[in-house]
Structure 1
Amino acid sequence: MWRRILTVPLEPEAVRLAREDATAALAEYGIRPDSAFAGAVLLVVSELVANAVRHAAEHSPTADVTVAAGAGQLVIGVADRDPRLPDLSPEAVGDGLRTVADLAAAYGGSIGAERDARGCGKVMVARFRVPDELGTTGRRVGSRAR
């Protein structure tokens, strides 16, 4: 699996930084930034990072934004140190997470919230199936963290 991680401060410019890095990550993986799929993924990155800024900044000075791809799937993760897991039931989510869920579902994916591996925070995850027409252009470039 190919993976790229960016750590951003949970401040307003985090959304811009995360989008720029995710755009570069998609290009490295072979997904054109002007494709509808890339647009959906970038909107999801924006919403998940904006939610971290809005809801987790008091518990977490930074968030790790991960773009991972392999086996026909693309996964976006936003990890912070806030231990509170959101209620992802349809009646409880706000407009931002509803948009994230709808975009992921449109590409055969889903969203979720998990405790992080160290047990001191959470990871918001959005999974997508890479469209077949993009699957042949996706390439494994190697792991890279910034």
Structure 2
Amino acid sequence: MLTLPSVPEAVRQTRRDTAAALSEYGLSPDSAFAGAVLLVVSELVSNAVRHAADHSPTVDVTLAIAAERLVIGVADQDPRLPDLSPQAMGDGLRTVSELTAAYGGALSVEAAVHRCGKTMLVWFALPDDLGMYGRRVGSCAL
């Protein structure tokens, strides 16, 4: 897990750390899949910084590979849950939703169980050409 202050610089740091994690899993940072993942994580952290910073001094980012999926979680301490209906989403979440769907995945939000806040969750189906290294169940990069 990566915990960052809720400031704009967190977006850049998250992109760097996510790109490094994807490289560890054998994904070229220049691939279309990696580009989609980096855009999604950037949008989610940017939204947390923009909309939750008043309630959340930090943002937690997790990235894991399990069950043929790449899963990203971005958590903050703001209890307000975004409306994920297509007509209510802003451009950023619409982009996230479309990119995850394009790679066989989805976007969701979950209220925090043991504290105030929420986690935005996205998952992508792993590309067929990732190889066995990236298909280890339970591996975690951030």
TM-score (norm 1): 0.90
Question: Which structure 1 residue ranges, 5 or more long, are not aligned?
Answer: none
For residues 143 and 111 of structure 1, the distance between their equivalents in structure 2, rounded to whole angstroms, comes to 19
1:23 paired residue among 10, 19, 22: 19
For the 8 Å contact 2:109–2:121, the answer to whether it is kept is yes
For residues 66 and 86 of structure 1, the distance between their equivalents in structure 2, rounded to whole angstroms, comes to 19
Mapping of residues 1-146 of structure 1, within 5 Å: 5-138=1-134, 140=136, 142-143=139-140
For residues 29 and 132 of structure 2, the distance between their equivalents in structure 1, rounded to whole angstroms, comes to 16
Task: Say if 1:29 and 1:117 are closer, same or farther in 2 by CA, change over 3 A.
Answer: farther
Q: Which amino acid aligns with 1:115?
A: A
For residues 128 and 87 of structure 1, the distance between their equivalents in structure 2, rounded to whole angstroms, comes to 21
Question: Which structure 2 residue ranges, 5 or more long, are not aligned?
Answer: none
For the 8 Å contact 1:108–1:129, the answer to whether it is kept is yes
Percent identical residues? 65
How far 1:117 moved relative to its partner? 2.9
CA-based RMSD of the aligned residues comes to: 1.6
How far 1:136 moved relative to its partner? 3.5
